């Protein structure tokens, strides 16, 4: 196409020269004419090519427009479908999110409540910790005081025991006098305190005759002493329990014998001796069945002696060592009654 343009330009240039010079020959004119025809033919070919090209381009443009329109239509349909689906999904999400929102709201409220509860618990914990530490210190102080009082009490009991043992050593009697004393026990003695009922009517009740334990088995000797106690013959029972313990200190009834000997002293209002005898039960038989009773009766003996401080101390020891026992229940009741 560029060569044709050059030829046309050349032709026009030669024609211009011909007209200007007027000296161009026929031959040259024919040649020029042939060139012009060739150029015209080339121009026609170019025009045909241009027309064909334009036709192709138009066809392609029309096809492209059609395809573009189809694509736009498809895109529009897709947009419509997408919008429909998006709307449906939004509606579904809205519908499904409502319970979730409610659940989240409830969960948030629960979390807030839990936080408040935790804060309240932390406050209570700190308060409890403070009071626990305070109570621990107070309990420690009380325990130390309690231990000191117990030690003082043990010392006092030991001193009482020594003071009671000393007169016995000083007043040792010969064997003859002992035999006479044992014989005299078989008869009513003026030294034996009679109960009010016996003083009114001496014939109404004859004191039981103590049986000599030497001729009895340990079981029979203990039973004899216990029967005397149950019948109210306290002095005779006391002597029989002492004889039994002297003859059978390691008997299976030794624990009970010490306890009932203490009860004999208690009945005779010899509270010091009773306390010491109950202490024998506690120290010699720490795991025995009579220990709670002996400890409680010690407290009662101190109470009878108007020693409320030591009585409270003993009752507290009963509750501490045997909290579920009947003796602990009675000890608590006594402590409530005390000032």
The reported pLDDT for the residue numbered 228 is 97
Q: Which residue do the tokens 């109210």 mark?
A: 232
**What are the CA-CA distances from residue 209 to residues 141, 198, 212, 214, 222 (Å)?**
54, 16, 9, 15, 15
Position with higher pLDDT, 188 vs 260: 260
Task: Count CB neighbours of 235 within 10 A.
Answer: 19
Give 227-245 pLDDT, tens digit per residue. 999 999 999 999 999 999 9
The reported pLDDT for the residue numbered 30 is 80
Torsion sign (Cα): 165, 170, 176, 182? negative
**Angle of the 291-304 helix axis to the 254-267 helix axis, nearest 10:** 20
> What are the angstrom distances between the C-alpha of 43 and each of 5, 55, 109, 294?
9, 18, 90, 147
Q: Which residue would you say has higher pLDDT here, 121 or 188?
A: 121
Task: State residue 194 phi and psi, 5-degree precision.
Answer: -90, 150
Amino acid 142: pLDDT: 58
The full DSSP string for 166-233 is HHHHHT---HHHHHHHHHHHTS--SSSPPPHHHHH-TTT-PPPPPPPGGGS-HHHHHHHHHHHHHTT-
Average pLDDT over every residue of 306-323:
95
Question: Burial level of 318, CB count in 10 A (0-12/13-18/19+)?
Answer: buried
Query: Which residues contact residue 182 at a Cβ distance below 8 angstroms, ignoring those fewer than 6 apart?
Result: 212
In the chain, % of residues over pLDDT 70: 63
Per residue in 185-231, pLDDT (tens digit) is: 333 332 333 333 333 333 334 444 444 544 689 999 999 999 999 99
Q: How far is residue 217's CA from residue 261's CA, in Å, rounded to a whole number?
A: 19
**CA-wise closest residue to 259 among 276, 278, 285, 235:** 278
Question: Cα torsion for 177, 178, 182, 184, to the nearest 10°?
Answer: 20
Tell which wins on pLDDT, 30 or 193.
30
Nearest partner of 258 among 302, 298, 216, 318, judged by Cα: 298
3-class secondary-structure state, position 252: coil
Range in 65-74, 167-176, 180-189, 282-291 the model is least confident about = 180-189
Mean pLDDT of the chain: 76
What tokens does 173 get?
Answer: 């009697």
Judged by average pLDDT, the poorest of 69-83, 163-177, 189-203, 235-249 is 189-203
Span of 49-58, 116-125, 184-193 with lowest mean pLDDT: 184-193
What's 234's DSSP letter?
H
What pLDDT was estimated at residue 206?
40
- Do 258 and 242 contact (CB within 8 A), yes or no? no
Among candidate residues 293, 313, 294, the one with its CA nearest the CA of residue 303 = 313
Per-residue pLDDT averaged across 153-169, rounded?
62
Q: State how far the alpha carbon of 66 is from the alpha carbons of 54, 60, 296, 334, in Å.
A: 18, 10, 117, 114
Q: 332 or 66: whose pLDDT is higher?
A: 332
- pLDDT exceeds 80 at position 42: yes
């Amino acid at each position: 196409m560029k060569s044709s343009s050059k030829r046309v330009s050349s032709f026009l240039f030669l024609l211009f020269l011909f007209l200007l010079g007027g000296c161009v020959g026929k031959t040259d004119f024919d040649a020029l004419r042939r060139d012009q025809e060739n150029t015209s033919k080339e121009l026609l070919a170019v025009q045909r090519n241009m027309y064909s090209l334009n036709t192709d381009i138009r066809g392609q443009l029309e096809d492209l427009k059609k395809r573009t329109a189809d694509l736009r239509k498809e895109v529009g349909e897709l947009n419509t479908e997408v919008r429909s689906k998006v709307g449906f999904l939004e509606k579904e999400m809205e519908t499904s999110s409502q319970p979730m929102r409610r659940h989240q709201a409830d969960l948030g409220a629960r979390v807030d409540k839990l936080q408040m509860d935790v804060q309240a618990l932390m406050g209570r914990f700190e308060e409890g910790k403070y009071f626990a530490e305070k109570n621990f210190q107070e309990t420690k102080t009380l325990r130390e005081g309690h231990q000191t009082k117990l030690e003082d009490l043990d010392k006092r009991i030991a001193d009482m025991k020594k003071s009671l043992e000393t007169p016995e050593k000083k007043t040792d009697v010969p064997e003859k006098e002992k035999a006479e004393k044992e014989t005299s026990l078989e008869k009513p003695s003026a030294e034996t305190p009679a109960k009010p009922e016996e003083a009114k009517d001496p014939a109404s009740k004859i004191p039981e005759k103590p049986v000599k334990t030497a001729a009895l088995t340990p079981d029979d000797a203990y039973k004899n002493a216990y029967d005397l106690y149950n019948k109210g013959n306290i002095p005779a029972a006391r002597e029989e329990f002492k004889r039994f313990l002297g003859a059978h200190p390691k008997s299976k009834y030794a624990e009970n014998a010490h306890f009932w000997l203490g009860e004999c002293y208690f009945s005779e209002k010899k509270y010091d001796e009773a306390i010491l005898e109950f202490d024998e039960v506690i120290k010699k038989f720490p795991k025995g069945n009579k220990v709670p009773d002996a400890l409680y009766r010690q407290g009662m003996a101190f109470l009878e002696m108007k020693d409320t401080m030591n009585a409270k101390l003993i009752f507290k020891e009963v509750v501490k060592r045997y909290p579920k026992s009947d003796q602990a229940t009675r000890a608590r009741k006594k402590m409530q009654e005390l000032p």
